[in-house]
Structure 1
Amino acid sequence: MGYPKDLLSSRSIIKHGKYALIAPEGLVNNVVPGFDNCSMSILATPKLGASFVDYIVTMHEGGKNSEGFCGQEDVESFVYVLEGKVKATADEKEYVLEGSGYLYCPPGVKMYLENLEAGDSRLFLYKQKYKPLEGRKPWVISGHANQIEFRDYDDMNNVHIKDLLPTDIDFDMNFHILSFDPAACHPFIETHVQEHGAYLLSGEGMYNLDNEWIPVKKGDYIFMGPYVHQAAYAVGREPLAYVYSKDCNRDASL
């Protein structure tokens, strides 16, 4: 980085328990035991108000997590490859994941990752405590998002969505990719109990967070807490798209 070239400023906005916009230029590296030759930034956590933890991981040449990630009996995990190529292992099965590739591990299954590139690979990584449902159990899922067809979102042909995980009630969360054509927007401002952690894959837009309109762009991270107003407009010349988590398929707790 070196010396600053201008006045210190930031686009990031942090509203604990409500929402956060975290711009990439403000991220710092965190040491996470078990990840070797990796640069990691911890994004949303319970300290921010989230029920999950999100990370951005840059695996340098030879980077890996030889000790495995998660694996506790009540914690599930998910990884999405933003760019590069990694070998992912779960339940003794190996998967080669390139850009848009992903792997979900249910509770009790460790995730092992190893960079296969001569340069860097970048990952969006997630973990959350699983909410069990009697008689139901999720399973290991792997795929590539670019091999899944978009479908129209809420009957609009300029907003598109794809599900990365099954919609079965065995799963208490899902990951989606939502894409807005230029000038497209949500059909209404949403207010709901679900929370999201979203990484912007492309484009630019204006995002309504708690009824504040905030400019966002590729590389930004957004945390949206429960009941926070949320909606987006896409601006610019390419689609505004992001990959995001959503809790689902469970009743509210008392």
Structure 2
Amino acid sequence: MGYPEGFLKNRSVIQPGKYAVISPEGRVINVIPGISGCRMTILASPKLGANFVQMVGEVSTNGKTTMPYGLQKDIEVFLYVLDGQGHLQVSTGNTSTTLAAGGYIYVPPGEGLQFASEGDSPVRILLYKQRFTPHPSPDRKRPWPVIGNVRTISESPYDEMGNVFVRDLLPVDESFDMNFHTLAFLPGGCHPFVETHVQEHGAYIYSGQGLYLLDEQWIPVQAEDFIWFAPFCKQACYGTGLSRMEYIYSKDCHRDESL
């Protein structure tokens, strides 16, 4: 890497237990047992205050898992291909497919994910895991594998606004205790109100820029920033700049709170 030009700097803002904005210039590569030929960075974990683990990284042309990821009991996994010209072969149980940019797979609890580059070109991925919370009804079926691509999912106006758009990536079904969405703001688009809710989010911005309210602070954010929101953290966003701002984010859902 060598010596930097000018002063050392980092835009990240970390408030453990509340929120975090993690910009790319401060990231380091983490060794993840069972993942080979990949340059992975852990963005969120319980050490920050999150109830999930999320990573971003590049899968080289020989990148692969050497054992199923997230195979532990009640661990569910989500993988999303951010970008790149290559293809990723993914599998869980009896389900397998090949993903390109925009593609994703949800792996049900305890089944584990395996992936391998097809060797044509590197890709960047987001990799996410959390502990599954069962539905209280014994008659409710457990979640099932889901494969898709955001480029084939139609956007819907967000809260009846004409310049903010949302996609649901997983079924809106109580069998699932989580979902992933994309949210896009045209310049000048914003949330309709400042949110304070029990859901926790991890959001990866992959285009544009904006101004995000986190707790009591408005923070400029842009493509390649990761944001973690603790439950009940005040939050709202304005899309700024000249182009569309868009991010993919996780959400826990469909469950009561335990005492």
**What TM-score results when the alignment is normalised by the length of structure 2?**
0.96
* Aligned match of 1:114: 116
Give the counterpart of 1:97 among 96, 99, 115: 99
* Aligned match of 1:212: 217
CA distance in 1, matches of 2:34, 2:238: 40
**What TM-score results when the alignment is normalised by the length of structure 1?**
0.98
Residue 103 of structure 1: how far off its partner (Å): 0.2
* Aligned match of 1:236: 241
CA distance in 2, matches of 1:145, 1:81: 10
* Aligned match of 1:71: 71
Where do 1:77-92 residues align within 5 Å?
Answer: 77-84=77-84, 85-92=87-94
Residue 110 of structure 1: how far off its partner (Å): 1.3
The SS at the match of 2:239 is strand
Is structure 2 residue 139 aligned with structure 1 residue 135? yes
Q: Answer yes or no: is the 8 Å Cα contact 2:205–2:222 preserved in 1.
A: yes
Give the counterpart of 2:178 among 159, 173, 178: 173
Residue 90 of structure 1: how far off its partner (Å): 1.1
* Aligned match of 2:49: 49
User: Match of 2:226, as an amino acid?
Assistant: Y
Note the alpha carbon deviations across 1:146-195, whole angstroms, 9 max, x for none: 10000010010110000000010000000000000111100011000101
Residue 117 of structure 1: how far off its partner (Å): 4.2
Note the alpha carbon deviations across 1:11-59, whole angstroms, 9 max, x for none: 0011000000000111100000111111110011000000000000211
CA distance in 1, matches of 2:29, 2:207: 23
CA distance in 2, matches of 1:7, 1:141: 46
Is structure 2 residue 196 aligned with structure 1 residue 191? yes
Unaligned runs of 5+ in 1: none
Note the alpha carbon deviations across 1:120-147, whole angstroms, 9 max, x for none: 2100110000001133210000000110
CA distance in 1, matches of 2:68, 2:125: 15
* Aligned match of 2:125: 123
Is structure 2 residue 189 aligned with structure 1 residue 161? no
User: Match of 1:41, as an amino acid?
Assistant: T
Is structure 2 residue 42 aligned with structure 1 residue 37? no
* Aligned match of 1:247: 252
The SS at the match of 2:29 is coil
User: Match of 2:139, as an amino acid?
Assistant: G
**Structure 1 stretches (4+) deviating beyond 3 angstroms?**
none
